Amino acid sequence: MPHRPAELTPTPELLSHHGAGPLHWLATATAMAAVVALAGLLQPDASATGRAAAPTGTTAAPASGPQATAPDPAAVTYPLDCKGLPTAVTATAQGDLDGDRRPETVAAVRCDAGSGTPPHAIYVLAQDRTPGATPRIVATLLEAGKRQTAADLTISDGVVTASLLGYSSPQVPRYSPDVKQLAKWRWTGGKFRQELTNSDAGSV
pLDDT in tens, 93-132: 999 999 999 999 999 999 998 777 899 999 999 998 888 8
Q: What angle do CA 196, 98, 159 make, to 5 degrees?
A: 30
φ and ψ at 130, to 5 degrees?
-65, 130
- The CA distance from 124 to 14, in Å, is 9
User: Does 185 have pLDDT greater than 60?
Assistant: yes
φ and ψ at 77, to 5 degrees?
-95, 120
pTM greater than 0.85: no
Average of per-residue pLDDT across 170-197: 93
Share of the chain above pLDDT 70, in %: 65
Give first-to-last CA distance, the chain, whole Å.
17
Q: How confident is the model at residue 188 (pLDDT cuts 50, 70, 90)?
A: very high
pLDDT in tens, 26-64: 444 433 433 333 333 333 333 333 333 333 333 444 445
Q: Which residues pair with 71 in a beta bridge?
A: none
